[in-house]
Amino acid sequence: MEVAAAACGWNLDTTIIFPEDHIMPRLFTPSLAKKYEELYEQNGVKFVKGALIDKLDAGSDGRVSSAILKDGSVVEADTVIVGIGAKPSVSPFEAVGVNIEVGGIEVDSMFRTSIPSIFAIGDVAAFPLKMYDRIARVEHVDHARKSAQHCIETLLTSQAKAYDYLPYFYSRVFEYEGSSRKIWWQFYGDNVGETIEVGNFDPKIATFWIDSG
């Protein structure tokens, strides 16, 4: 989404193709996604939803010329950015303990593994998320920095304070010079429970997840 917004700033004809019903389903509600998609469409971005790419075709010069979808339709392109994410490679660390469920190296609330003097921090750490009483793995620069700081403080001060982290994500889009509308959004906590939406994204909107438990 950030790359697509930047492409608009370069006046590039931009199409986003994805298999889900709406953008960012792990984070956005359908209602919130719809408003965000409309913002992108107002900036000239096209969406192809519920689609999978079968292959990329090249022209006579060897450069990509189009994306062929599973249904046979063709999307012309001279640049393709593939955003498929990544999985942490933790199998070499099975000796120190791996949490299969979240796919990370198992640590305690001070980022200690099962082997003394071996610690794991950041994206690969499967740590106790205190406020939600579950094991989590968070891929975000904020957690990477704070987990590193907490781990170092543990080593240098012998503190026994548990890591108490509030999950946090953010994005900033359409910030280029000349943009008619710059957007920043922030997300805190966990998107569990019923949702309450406040505002209409003109210019602001907030969504609250209420967990009855």
What is the pLDDT at residue 129? Answer: 94
pLDDT value of residue 45? 97
Q: What is the pLDDT of residues 66-94, one digit of tens each?
A: 999 999 999 999 999 998 888 888 889 99
List the chain domain ranges.
Answer: 1-51+168-210, 90-156
Q: Which residues contact 212 (CB under 8 A, 6 or more apart)?
A: 193, 194
**What is the reported pTM?**
0.85
Which CATH superfamily includes the segment(s) 90-156?
A: FAD/NAD(P)-binding domain (3.50.50.60)
pLDDT for residue 159: 75
Write out residues in the chain with pLDDT < 70, as ranges: 213
pLDDT of the residue at 183: 95
CA–CA distance, 190 with 193 (Å, rounded to integer): 9
Taking alpha carbons only, the member of 190, 189, 130, 131 closest to residue 162 is 130
DSSP state of 112: B
Give, in degrees to the nearest 5, the angle at Cα 17 between 2 and 104: 65
d(CA 213, CA 207): 18
Task: Say how many Å lie between the first and final Cα of the chain, rounded.
Answer: 33
- Check if 1-51+168-210 and 90-156 are the same fold: yes
Specify the pLDDT at position 186. Answer: 95
Tell the CATH topology of 1-51+168-210. Answer: FAD/NAD(P)-binding domain (3.50.50)
What's the pLDDT score for residue 127? 97
